[in-house]
A = this chain, B = another copy of it.
Amino acid sequence: MAITVLRLGHRPARDKRISTHVGLVARAFGADNLFYSGLKDSSLEDSIHGVARQWGGSFGVAHVRDWRALIRDWKGKSVHLTMYGMPLQKRMGQIRKVSDLLIVVGGEKVPPDVYRMADWNVSITSQPHSEVAGLAVFLHEYFQGRELEKKYMGARKRVIPQARGKRLV
């Protein structure tokens, strides 16, 4: 049982920060792995690996050349997050039953065959906003808030929550 995120169409020059946020959100909200298509970007991988090394847990990042094969041969089910899809709240009951879920997150231009290949197309609001936000709210609903209290094994850094200021151990 694992949750994998596939980020489509990464362009290193334009998308570095957004794709980094997608990766960090995947990790912080309970996913296990990030694949990304588009151009391979070692600095993207390094940023996410760096956070995972410092903050613990195991989180994998890998570039994927043939994302269509990844979706097609996926052993579990896949859900594509898109503002054009069916509302999250109407599909989550079914989706939660799946083990080995692949969550597909588009970028600026999503190839039209993704809509056919995914088992579900799901929207987080039907308004334009952000793939980072869509992924976070999707995972938050998937885990029903339990991800907010997740503990990370082998962390070198950990926050002690404070009403004021910062405390890091």
- Assuming the contacts A148-B89, A164-B115, A164-B121, asked whether A129 and B25 have C-beta atoms less than 8 A apart, the reply is yes
CB distance from A52 to the nearest CB of B (A): 10
Task: For A162, give its contact among B86, B137, B167 (CB under 8 Å).
Answer: B86
**A115 — which chain B residues lie within 8 A by C-beta?**
164-166
Once the chains are docked, how many angstroms separate the CA of A167 from the CA of B18? 26
Interface members, chain A 105-145 (any B CB < 8 Å): 112, 115-116, 120-121, 123-130, 132-137, 140, 145
Q: Please state if A28 and B148 are interface contacts (CB–CB under 8 Å).
A: no
Interface members, chain A 21-69 (any B CB < 8 Å): 21, 24-25, 27-29, 51, 55
For chain A, the count of residues having a C-beta within 8 Å of the partner chain is 55
- Assuming the contacts A17-B17, A21-B18, A137-B140, asked whether A126 and B159 have C-beta atoms less than 8 A apart, the reply is yes
- Assuming the contacts A28-B127, A161-B123, A164-B115, asked whether A133 and B21 have C-beta atoms less than 8 A apart, the reply is yes
- Assuming the contacts A121-B162, A161-B123, asked whether A145 and B28 have C-beta atoms less than 8 A apart, the reply is no
CB distance from A121 to the nearest CB of B (A): 6
* Residue among A82, A130, A137 facing the most chain B CB atoms (10 A cut-off): A130
Check A88 for interface membership: any CB of B closer than 8 A: yes
CB distance from A5 to the nearest CB of B (A): 13
13 contacts between A and B (CB under 8 A): A18-B18, A18-B21, A25-B133, A29-B129, A55-B128, A112-B165, A115-B165, A120-B163, A121-B164, A123-B161, A124-B148, A127-B159, A136-B136
11 further contact pairs, Cβ within 8 A, besides A24-B127, A84-B168, A115-B166: A21-B129, A28-B128, A84-B165, A84-B166, A85-B163, A87-B148, A87-B149, A88-B148, A89-B148, A125-B147, A136-B137
